[in-house]
Amino acid sequence: MHFAPTKFDKAWLIKPERHEDERGFFARTWCQREFEEHGLDADLVQCNVSFNKTKGTVRGMHFQTAPHEEVKLVRCTRGRVFDVIVDVRPRSTTFGESFGAELSAENGVAIYVPAGFAHGFQTLEDDCELFYQISCEHHAESARGIHYADSEVRIDWPLPASIVSDKDTRLPTVRELICEPYEPPRCPGVPKKMEAVR
């Protein structure tokens, strides 16, 4: 596998090394040892699939608070998506900044999302599917997010948003994320304003 750094510490783009022949190709998409050698959390305990019918659909930007913070390894197994992460660590020098990359079934690229980052994506064509490997089970009481169109984060979505869930349209801005002092990978506090966001 090829590990390419992003603008954020511990966030990586990962591309399988394909071994091709007349049948097609074979590639490894996960190796605990290689992830650990790069200093990444290799304790992934849950897998999820997200299927999206309509081009332009936006999901995000989601994360979980302590003690249920998530590391995610996300790849697109059907179609193409623009995948985005946002630093939501309040003491970070890159707090509120975003990074985006195209993931597709064709390019095989995955994104490693560290704890302390919100994650979301937009579909670039109909019938897209994403596969997630996650370090923590979903915990509804810890689920949080920031608004996908936050003007301060300034995510440059490639397309107008065609479908966004009602829940995601009610998420707060990044300015409303006021945690207690953050020591990765734990964030001990969440503002009351966010307690109602589910």
As annotated, the active-site residues are 62, 132
d(CA 157, CA 149) in angstroms, rounded, equals 9
Exposure pattern of 75-85 as b/e (b: 16+ CB <10 Å)? bbbbbbbbbbb
DSSP 141: G
**C-alpha pair distances (Å), 75 with each of 3, 30, 79, 81:** 14, 11, 11, 9
Under a CB-based contact definition with an 8 Å cutoff, are residues 142 and 32 in contact? no
DSSP 179: P
d(CA 112, CA 157) in angstroms, rounded, equals 20
Burial class (CB in 10 A: 0-12, 13-18, 19+), 156: exposed
From the list 104, 172, 135, the residue with the least C-alpha distance to 32 is 135
Under a CB-based contact definition with an 8 Å cutoff, are residues 114 and 10 in contact? yes
DSSP 102: E
